[in-house]
Amino acid sequence: MQKRKLGKSNLEVSALGLGCMGMSFSYGPPKDKKEMTDLLHAAVDRGITFFDTAEVYGPFTNEELVGEALAPFHGKVVIATKFGFDLSGSDNRPGAAGLNSRPEHIKQAVEGSLKRLKVDAIDLLYQHRVDPDVPIEDVAGAVKALIQQGKVKHFGLSEAAAKTIRRAHAVQPVTAVQSEYSLWTRGPEAEVLPTLEELGIGFVPYSPLGKGFLTGKMDETTTLDKTDFRSTLPRFTPEARKANLALVNLLGEIGKRKNATPAQIALAWLLAQKPWIIPIPGTTKLHRLDENIGAVAVELTSADLRDIDSAASKIKVQGARYPEHIEKMTGL
């Protein structure tokens, strides 16, 4: 497995990470713990050293799963987690009580994550969503104090706007920014990616396969379980899926030229954008893990990239990526 560095930091990880959320949360009912433990071990065996979780996934159960499964590999893997939601609400929906990045809450969240992840220090700690009620300087300052105490190694932001990234970085250097980025979600290209390049910050695209859509395994007839959060997303209505298949067909055409699947082309496209981009596709299946890892070996030439960009620019993606109340939590 090739390695990449997150920007100018000394944090080196596998060129592809593994998003662990779906093992416990969001994509239907939680998966079998032993099966997911075996999958996490298989990922390590295949050279993946970068794993992504968050306290809100479950809540808490995903961190517990990842912490237990990866305990034998301490020092060999990098585990990223996130704070920023208030999980104290009476409503069972994770994060229903809203955002909370007050410094005292960050400290509490980190103590909980350290226990669940079974580590002495969190490798990479992201603010999960920017909290409009707490100045980002206060957030960065709280994480800086935790870094000085040896409880956190690196600071990250998720779905933050360029100006927010600059303000945070001035207080505590930001190692990585995580936002949704793929061939059908290209918002970060306008301001965020140039800012990261200038400041020497790594970029971690989540949902690099469009929440599964860019794999080519879904169409307008696919039935989504009501426990699958995609059933609430405007981009996943049957009409939007039908329209958006044009993008998948494009990936399939390029894939035929390269002897690769649509998913592998989608990931190879991201890897070809910048050497400091590390996508974190999630999966709960071993054959998908192997398929995703195969993307690292797919070479896209500058001509291939031009073809993809040219064809993609003619395809209008249908449907917002989130309902409006969630979209408001993003800073892009």
Known catalytic residues are 57
Tokens standing for residue 95: 């994060």
DSSP structure string for 134-182? S-HHHHHHHHHHHHHTTSEEEEEEES--HHHHHHHHHHS-EEEEEEE-B
* Separation CA 280–CA 93 (nearest Å): 24
Cβ-proximal residues to 95 (8 Å cutoff; 6+ apart), any chain:
56, 59, 85, 86, 87
- Cβ neighbourhood burial of 312 (10 Å; 0-12, 13-18, 19+): middle
For tokens 């003619």, the residue is 314
* 8 Å CB contact between 125 and 168: no
* Separation CA 179–CA 192 (nearest Å): 9
Tokens standing for residue 244: 């958006």
* Separation CA 96–CA 91 (nearest Å): 6
* Residue 59: cis peptide before it, omega within 30 degrees of 0: yes
